[in-house]
Amino acid sequence: MSSFAGRMKEYPTVSLDRFDRENLHARAYFLSHCHKDHMKGLKGPLLKRKLQFSRTVRLYCSFVTKELLLNNQKYSFWEEYIVPLELESPTQISLVDEASGEKEEVVVTLLPAGHCPGSVMFLFEGCHGNVLYTGDFRLAAGDAARMEHLHSGSRVKDIQSVYLDSTFYDPRFYQIPSREVCLKGISELVGNWISQSPYHVVWLNCKAAYGYEYLFTNLGEEFGTQIHVNSLAMFKKMPEILSYVTTDRGARIHACRHPKDEEFFQGNRLPCGCSAPDGTPLRIISIKPSTMWFGERTKRTNVIIKTGSSSYRACFSFHSSYSELKDFLAYLQPVHIYPNVVPLGRSETEVTQLLSRMCRSRSDPSAFIYKPLGVLKRSVVQRPASDSESDSELFEGLDLVPVRKRMGLNCEAGNENIPERTAPPASAPLPLAVDSSPSAPQNYYDCTESNGEDDDEEEEGRGDSTASEAPRWEDFFSAGTLTDSQNSQSEPCCSVTSPAPSAATGSQTPELFSDEEETPNNEDFSLTLSASTSAHSSQNLELPDTVILRPERADAHHSETDRPEEAELSQASSDFDIPSTPESKVLRPEELSQLYRKLASGEEVMVRKGSQGSV
């Protein structure tokens, strides 16, 4: 849950995702996506009054977010104050103090965030530097390298600060299976079930929040069907979603909800109360999307877990995993990183400190020699989804840095003279490496036919789409297009600048595939299903509560700390429990700086187990 207070240090006159308290005085508002915890104060009467007296204060968001927001009556008063922005189209906004007339210009660019429909990150560029507010996001490793607007020419932009969705910034959440893998697992489960008879139906036990839509569309596509949901109203302008949902209760796949839906399910009823026309009892399974995570060295990823005779939990995450976050940060190398979320069981200072290891060094770069150790880790960062058993995590956080030139902050308006850092080495995901051929993702997805076309062509109708890309999740459900874009209401306070020229020269496919070969292999679990578990009215008591459908391979090393009850659930393993390398300890940044200095000065340095000793 976001605990971001609403304002960024560099541009304190704008407020993002918070609309109460101090934020009432903002010159402009930004909404990253339509989840309640990012809308605090948004329906406040105080704000409403302020708007009525203002000529310049506006709310900026994506078109889809606008649509979803206005779908809720409580926010309808915003209608005339919302300025929807296209994705990836830098827009200059004047931040005006209406009392004094003082004015500051800032260029904002919306980047797809992959969190839920309409979700975006905001990149601000102005005289206080480039700042990225991520909102909530789930991006795969390497995605930052594919975002044109994080680059200037072939170089990564100089990012002063990142305000980060740090939900899973904790080594415990090292790995979360990719969307593709999760989707494939769910697909197989659903397919195996509904193919058994017309009375076999599936209930997707989704929470009342946006973000599951790509599940609906992909399942709908795969099985040539529609998913039953409570309401279509919010999707009325989103044909690419609308065509896969229905309010026809006769559907085989349901994602409808009811306040007592869990009870209903126990009584073999769907939340919508639907039953078979001829009176034959339905055979219902529930699939509850929930986040599952896996430790650093866990190779097997069980994306489906059976939790009862007819209940399953399926891996699903709205947020990037620890390794995905590290990849993201390692690529951008911001000077500062501020957490928007404090993961459970941690303190704010703790997270900030952990994050500081991913910041560009603030000290004199010449004090650091990156070579000996940096190279080691660099390789890990390149292939985040793979070689998870590598012990090079020893120096986590200090890897990255191929030495990059630092220059002063630009204080001219605009973003012309942004200091450029060198592009990452060839082994890194290339900036703008446009992996546009549909074939490449197929390797990655590893989920057969269902995805090559999941881009749902209508999506491509988006007018602004500058970069031609392979089908991407974020294209699909993050920002989306609306029909009837009569939206171009030009606002007095905003003008569109020309997008930065695309430098999509690279053609090399980034590190997409990883070792997903180790992922699905789902034969095991189809067996379970075809065994056609007895109707769940007969409580099968000898079944354990939790059955892992695809057993772990022997590669989960439980060597040191072998805790039987956790051995099965790799997500219970944490890097705290099982150190990456038995003899290593994670050095504190100060210790490492000291170490690096010694190395730089030619001193001999030895790292011994547990503590760093030097000669």
- When the beta carbons of 13 and 290 are compared against DNA, the nearer one is 290
Q: Is 339 in the site for DNA (CB under 7 A)?
A: no
Residues 6+ apart with CB under 8 A from 313: 287, 288, 289, 290, 292, 304, 305, 307
CA angle 6, 8, 12 (to 5 degrees): 90
**Identified binder of DNA from the candidate list 224, 259, 463, 610, rule CB under 7 A:** 259
CB of 513 to DNA, least distance (A): 27
**Identified binder of DNA from the candidate list 157, 306, 313, 421, rule CB under 7 A:** 313
Segment interacting with DNA, rule: CB under 7 A, options 23-31, 78-86, 295-303, 566-574: 566-574
Check if the beta carbon of residue 139 is closer than 8 Å to that of residue 110: no
Q: Is 290 in the site for DNA (CB under 7 A)?
A: yes
Site for DNA in 374-393 (CB under 7 A): none
- When the beta carbons of 161 and 340 are compared against DNA, the nearer one is 340
Parallel, antiparallel or unpaired: strands 91-96 and 494-496? antiparallel
Residues 6+ apart with CB under 8 A from 433: 145, 146, 506, 507, 508, 509, 510
The separation between CA 242 and the C-alpha centre of its own chain, rounded to angstroms, equals 23
Site for DNA in 116-145 (CB under 7 A): 136
Q: Taking Cα atoms as reference points, which of 507, 432, 408, 410 lies closest to residue 156?
A: 432
Check if the beta carbon of residue 485 is closer than 8 Å to that of residue 86: no
d(CA 357, CA 334) in angstroms, rounded, equals 11
- When the beta carbons of 211 and 480 are compared against DNA, the nearer one is 211
- When the beta carbons of 295 and 431 are compared against DNA, the nearer one is 295
- When the beta carbons of 319 and 360 are compared against DNA, the nearer one is 319
CA angle 9, 132, 342 (to 5 degrees): 75
How many residues form the binding site for DNA (CB under 7 A)? 39
Token pair of 24 as six digits: 């009432």
Residues 6+ apart with CB under 8 A from 117: 34, 64, 68, 210, 211, 213, 238, 241, 477, 478, 479, 480
- When the beta carbons of 14 and 39 are compared against DNA, the nearer one is 39
Q: Is 563 in the site for DNA (CB under 7 A)?
A: no
Q: Which DSSP state fits 570? A: G
Segment interacting with DNA, rule: CB under 7 A, options 106-114, 340-348, 368-376, 500-508: 340-348
Q: Taking Cα atoms as reference points, which of 123, 113, 478 lies closest to residue 324?
A: 113
Site string for DNA, 87-116 (x = CB under 7 A): ----------------------------x-
- When the beta carbons of 55 and 207 are compared against DNA, the nearer one is 207
The separation between CA 176 and the C-alpha centre of its own chain, rounded to angstroms, equals 11
Q: Is 615 in the site for DNA (CB under 7 A)?
A: no
d(CA 78, CA 211) in angstroms, rounded, equals 23
Q: Is 22 in the site for DNA (CB under 7 A)?
A: no
Site for DNA in 541-560 (CB under 7 A): 546
CB of 35 to DNA, least distance (A): 3
Residues 6+ apart with CB under 8 A from 170: 322, 343, 346, 351, 354
- When the beta carbons of 169 and 395 are compared against DNA, the nearer one is 169
Segment interacting with DNA, rule: CB under 7 A, options 105-113, 165-173, 419-427, 454-462: 165-173
First vs last Cα of the chain: how many Å apart? 47
CB of 211 to DNA, least distance (A): 6
Check if the beta carbon of residue 516 is closer than 8 Å to that of residue 178: yes
Q: Is 344 in the site for DNA (CB under 7 A)?
A: yes
**Identified binder of DNA from the candidate list 152, 166, 167, 301, rule CB under 7 A:** 167
CB of 74 to DNA, least distance (A): 8
**Identified binder of DNA from the candidate list 256, 305, 549, 607, rule CB under 7 A:** 305
Site for DNA in 38-77 (CB under 7 A): 40-41, 43-45
**Identified binder of DNA from the candidate list 76, 105, 209, 468, rule CB under 7 A:** 209
Give contact residues for DNA (rule: CB under 7 A).
1, 20, 35-37, 40-41, 43-45, 115, 136, 167-168, 172, 207-211, 259, 261-262, 290-293, 305, 307, 313, 318-319, 343-345, 546, 569, 571-572
